[in-house]
Chain A
Amino acid sequence: MITAERKPIEELIQSVKPYRSILLAGCNECVTVCAAGGRKEVGVLASALKMHFLKAGKPFEIQEITLERQCDPEYVEQLASNLDQVDAVLSMACGCGVQEVARRFHNKPVFPALNTKFMGASERQGVWSERCQGCGDCVLGYTGGICPVARCSKQLFNGPCGGSSNGKCEVDPNVDCAWQLIWDRLKALGMTERYEENLPAKDWRPAGGAGPRRIIREDMAL
């Protein structure tokens, strides 16, 4: 999933301060799962903002809504009826959702309430970590199911570097050395000979090196 964290309340107050009324829009997908921008977080942030502006003696109205998906035009359309009554949108979706709202309603200011972080998985309750950088040419089949692009601090395709120590990365002792993990997996799979196949220099075009990426599915296009 796409993970995110809410921005500090001070920054959000600065964003919406110039307006009298906003629409606070959550998203029911990834950011709900990582507890950053779902229905519950919309409620909590709305209360915090209301309280702040009440204390400050400034009239301020907030409408709350949580869409099924903010990255999907079909659901974003649902905002149309609310938008006439507000001055701005504060989106609690990931950066994709924020941009979809901005694209659809081009004369309404939209502010992000979240910092979008990475594509990751839940390690345990309350902990998410990065797993994929969407590099467009997956090598997981060669690396035992552990990604060197997203999980090695130096993106080594032929690691580990000299800073791997007790299974941890030199950059942060709380981060596993991806190449230690790869090696352990290759051993468990009886595929250690694969380690010595040198992986060639990566073509970064599918990773975004050729400009913003699109997927066009002729079979699905209307």
Chain B
Amino acid sequence: MKTASTLENILASGELAVTSECGPPRGALPQKVREKAELLRGCVDGVNVTDNQTAMVRMSSLAACILLKQMGLNPILQMVTRDRNRLAMQSDILGAYSHGIDTMLCLSGDHPRFGDHAMAATVHDIDSVQMIRMVKDMRDEGLFQGGEKIDGPPKMFIGAAANPFADPFELRVSRLAKKVKAGVDFIQTQCIYNVDKFEKWLQGVRDRGLHQQVHILAGITPMKSVGMARYMKNKVPGMDVPDEVVKRMGGVPKDKQAEEGIKICLETIERLKGVEGVRGFHLMAIEWEQKVPEIVERAGLLPRPDGLNVGVQNVRGGKS
């Protein structure tokens, strides 16, 4: 084991992992974080805490992660390169680890153009591939990015994102290979609606044996309505929602669309469960966290293993 991360333990055991996310509030109320996070207790192995997602100011990911940690949950610290230079990132990583936060996700982040502070300067001191390398060197070499020694290195289990649906498609496996080369441990993908295209990407990943070097969690987002399906199709950059999916959502009465959206995501999970290279699922139920327990249960992914016990068994198994 590289870290004490529950997610690492579960993935190493061979069990399918389940993660979800909790977007911090647009204010300083800790109760809002706790309420949202409480919905996820017992049904996921890790909770991504987003970092000013869609480039809107929110409670910091680090602060919200600490709140989750205090609740006994396993937060996954998301960190984007948009808002911080390498000094700020590294100090936040040290701070996070000092609070027992041992899993993180390295991202470039949505461009400020999409948020409510379009006038802000972007940082982009390093990119997400370089951030993965930085966090890996902090962990494995005990070195800051600048080359000096760390007194008590943070042992982070390192995640990143992959979007199999963005262009150019032929580059998407290579881009993953770059992240693997940089030292990423797990990947959470963009929301999958075009399952055929996802499987085609995964075939490319397997052809290069990348699935044996990184744990891939398939990104799943249930749609609440045909309106949301259309919005995701037309407005969200890098999202691939096939016409059939929009049609299917629109083909049922309005009050049945939420259930139809959940059915679609359950079918996707079922189809991908046995596929080689899929090591779990990342459920992004956007402002719909209350549905996560139901989805995990109906997908047959409950009960969740106890991360610690799984890890201990695995380590013991390895020794004997």
Contact = CB atoms under 8 A, between A and B. Distances in A.
Do A and B assemble together?
yes
A159 B130 CA distance: 11
A199 B238 CA distance: 24
Contacts of A200: 130, 133
Given A195-B174, A198-B133, A162 B190 contact: yes
A196 B174 contact: yes
Given A163-B238, A170-B237, A201-B134, A156 B166 contact: no
B129 A163 contact: no
B111 A154 contact: yes
B178 A157 contact: no
A195 B129 CA distance: 13
Given A153-B111, A198-B133, A201-B86, A162 B174 contact: no
A160 interface: yes
A155 interface: yes
A190 to B, nearest CB: 15
A32 to B, nearest CB: 31
Contacts of A201: 86, 125-126, 130, 133-134, 145
A144 to B, nearest CB: 13
Question: What is the interface of chain A mostly: helix, strand, loop, or mixed?
Answer: loop
Interface in B68-91: 81-82, 86
Interface in B230-257: 237-238
Contact of A156 (B86, B127, B168, B181): B127
Contact of A164 (B124, B167, B174): B167
Nearest to A156: B127
A166 B167 contact: yes
A183 B171 contact: yes
9 contacts: A154-B127, A160-B167, A161-B166, A162-B190, A162-B238, A164-B166, A195-B178, A196-B174, A200-B133
A165 interface: yes
A170 B111 contact: yes
B189 to A, nearest CB: 10
B145 to A, nearest CB: 6
B108 A171 contact: no
